[in-house]
Amino acid sequence: LLADFKKQYPNSKFYPSIKPGADKIIAYHESAKRDFTTDQKFVANYAQINTLDDLMAEFKGKTVFVDIWATWCGPCKAEFEYGEELEKFLKSKNADMLYISMDKDLADAQWKEMIKYYKLSGNHIRVNPKLLQNLMDKLWDGKGYSIPRYLILKDGKLVNDKALRPSDKDKLYQQISAHL
């Protein structure tokens, strides 16, 4: 489509403005065709994980940084820009990453595409209705939710329910290090 536009309007002053956006769309669709990397893992039996306690039990013996996000959340996606540096830090400390998507079943394909596009290495789960309600009750007093939200788990227990954002870099790394 962009090539057709360029061909039909070779001297358009709008081309430089629309090309970066078009390039992002093309990259998104290309990434959706790729397979998941070996670093992108999905929590098994997500339909049976109905509480944060159930989910934390999957990570006993580990320190885990948790990113609660959704495909429709712009601020969530903006924080992914800092993911590669965070991933290196976590690996150097033998800590894990867990992404919890608040998306409904209808967004399953888009959720998986975004994991690929943003190169989100780590563990992934999309909430089922019971887990969604449990998270809202436990983290937001049952009054809906606001994301992004970050947590730190240690040995299967919640040790920080208001961790800093990945963009806070060194301050976040100090916060995580305090729980290693």
With a threshold of 0.75, does the pTM exceed it? yes
How many other C-beta atoms lie within 10 A of the C-beta of residue 84?
12
128 close to 101: Cβ distance less than 8 angstroms: no
> Across all residues in the chain, what is the average pLDDT?
92
The pLDDT of residue 28: 66
Q: Does residue 10 have a cis bond before it (omega within 30 degrees)?
A: no
Domain ranges of the chain: 2-33, 40-177
Looking up tokens 């943003």, which residue turns up? Answer: 118
The pLDDT of residue 26: 65
Q: Tally the residues of the chain.
A: 180
State which amino acid sits at residue 51: T
For the stretch 122-160, pLDDT in tens is 999 999 999 999 999 999 998 899 999 999 999 999 999
The pLDDT of residue 34: 79
The pLDDT of residue 46: 86
Q: What is the CATH number of domain 40-177?
A: 3.40.30.10
Beta bridge partners of 149: 68
The pLDDT of residue 143: 86
Contacts 24+ apart (CB under 8 A), 143-149: 145/68, 145/102, 147/68, 147/69, 147/70, 147/73, 147/75, 147/76, 147/102, 148/67, 148/68, 148/69, 148/73, 148/75, 148/76, 148/79, 149/68
Q: What is the mean pLDDT of residues 111-131?
A: 96
The pLDDT of residue 10: 81
The pLDDT of residue 104: 94
Residue 41: pLDDT band (50, 70, 90) is: very high
Nearest to 150 by CA among 170, 168, 133: 168
The pLDDT of residue 167: 98
State which amino acid sits at residue 91: K
For the stretch 57-79, pLDDT in tens is 999 999 999 999 999 999 999 99
Residue 30: pLDDT band (50, 70, 90) is: confident
